[in-house]
Amino acid sequence: MDTGTHIVMGLGLGGLAMLDPAIANDPATSQAILAGTLIGSQAPDFDTILKLKNNAVYIRNHRGLTHSLPALVIWPLLLFGIISLFVPQADSGKLLLWTAIAVFLHVFVDIFNAYGTQALYPVSRKWVALGVISIFDPFIFFLHIAGLLLWYVGVHPGYTFLAVYVILVFYYIWRILARQRVNKIVLEKIPEAEEIYASPTIRWGQYHLAIKSKHEFFVAGLKNGKVTIWDTFDRLPVPQTKIIDAAKLDKNISAFLSFSPVHRWEVEKNDHGHMVQFIDLRYRSKGHYPFVAMVQLDENLNIITSYTGWVYSEDRLKKKMDFSPMDLLNNNE
């Protein structure tokens, strides 16, 4: 989920904890728990700081170790220890419990969107991405906002957010059933489909689809129960050539391939050598596929420059892949 939703969920859990009279009647404990649920609901996403290093490190690690099985233990213990230093009189058991619930809920809700997490690591490195809920879901966000407003005007927060989360349980069940129906609709339209990657939009009943069959990739949209195919590509296996092997040694290409389950590739000969590009088919915006990984190799298959990330215009792409004559000189030495 997006940062804003995780924040309101953290506040909502803090309100839900007030169902316990021992918490509601103890200012120190209630304040410590609210801090624990608020920070705990954000903690797994602290790996966003990796963006400061480079996109390759961020893509390879975001929602990885920080969302893994060990993280469900490490984050609560770490936050519990820090908060206890500032509020030592808070009930330790209750603080640890609610902080752990906040961390768990963060990881749990993240598996329902198309991006997913490595929530089963180290048991499995597979990305768990159910494609049920959009990264930002207005219903979830504004239901929490309504609960917070009721809390603000004096309605009991415990009962308010108990109602919020009961509603959300039924909402998630409905969305899971709707996602299963997407598969049935796609198979009726494309019976040869082998794998279906669905990205829910913020509008109910609308999905972006990337579909694998034995021989083709389909990029499509689903709206009002109808599938519209936007693009079709031949499903060509990535060849085992010296050019491709050299490209895969690049950190940006390697990070992209570790994350993207459905992509196509291109190799282009140019004045400087060979340009290798991988394009993720799950993301399509105005007829353009913005999530890419590219590497420029020289004639000797040395890496000159590379990039992975989101590119929405040709001008931005040229800037990202720009290199100086000195780069060519260094590669030829």
Q: What is the pLDDT of residues 270-287, one digit of tens each?
A: 988 999 999 999 988 888
Residue 330 has pLDDT above 80, yes or no: no
pLDDT band for position 215 (cuts 50, 70, 90): very high
Q: Judge if 309 and 215 occupy the same domain.
A: no
Report if residue 40 sits inside a domain. yes
pLDDT recorded at residue 326: 45
Tell me whether residue 160 is in a domain.
yes
Instruction: Tell me: do 158 and 13 sit in the same domain.
Output: yes
Tell me the whole-structure pTM to 2 decimals: 0.85
Q: Model confidence over 12-38: pLDDT tens digits?
A: 999 999 999 999 999 999 999 999 999
Domain co-membership, 147 together with 199:
no
Residue 181 lies in a domain: no
Residues 308 and 212 in one domain: no
Question: And the tokens for 19?
Answer: 């169902």
Planar angle of CA 173, 200, 109, nearest 5 degrees: 50
The burial of 228, by beta-carbon neighbours within 10 Å (0-12 exposed, 13-18 middle, 19 or more buried), is given as exposed
Residue 317 has pLDDT above 80, yes or no: no
- Specify if 186 maps to a domain: no
Sign of CA dihedral 33, 34, 37, 42: negative
pLDDT value at position 327? Answer: 52
| Chain-centroid distance, C-alpha 211 | 19
Same domain, 139 and 170: yes
Same structural domain for residues 268 and 228? no
Judging by DSSP bridges, how do beta strands 273-280 and 291-297 pair with one another? antiparallel
The least confident of 78-82, 260-264, 324-328 is 324-328
Position 329 pLDDT exceeds 60: no
**Is 264 part of a structural domain of the chain?**
yes
Last residue of a domain, one of 234, 251, 267: 234
Residues 301, 171, single domain; the answer is no
**pLDDT value at position 116?**
81
State the total domains in the chain. 3
- Give the whole-angstrom CA distance, residue 107 versus residue 67: 6
227 and 248 both lie in a single domain: no
Are 34 and 129 part of one and the same domain?
Answer: yes
Final residue belonging to a domain, choices 218, 234, 250: 234
| 166 lies in the same domain as 35 | yes
Q: What per-residue confidence (pLDDT) applies to 333? A: 45
C-alpha to C-alpha distances, 331 to 271, 298, 301, nearest whole angstrom: 15, 8, 10
- Same domain for 142 and 107, yes or no, is yes
In a shared domain, residues 46 and 75? yes
Predicted local confidence at residue 322, as pLDDT: 67
Tell whether 97 is covered by a domain. yes
Question: Is the residue at 184 inside a domain?
Answer: no
Residue 183 lies in a domain: no
Residue 290: domain span: 242-332
Task: Tell me what the pLDDT averaged over the chain comes to.
Answer: 90
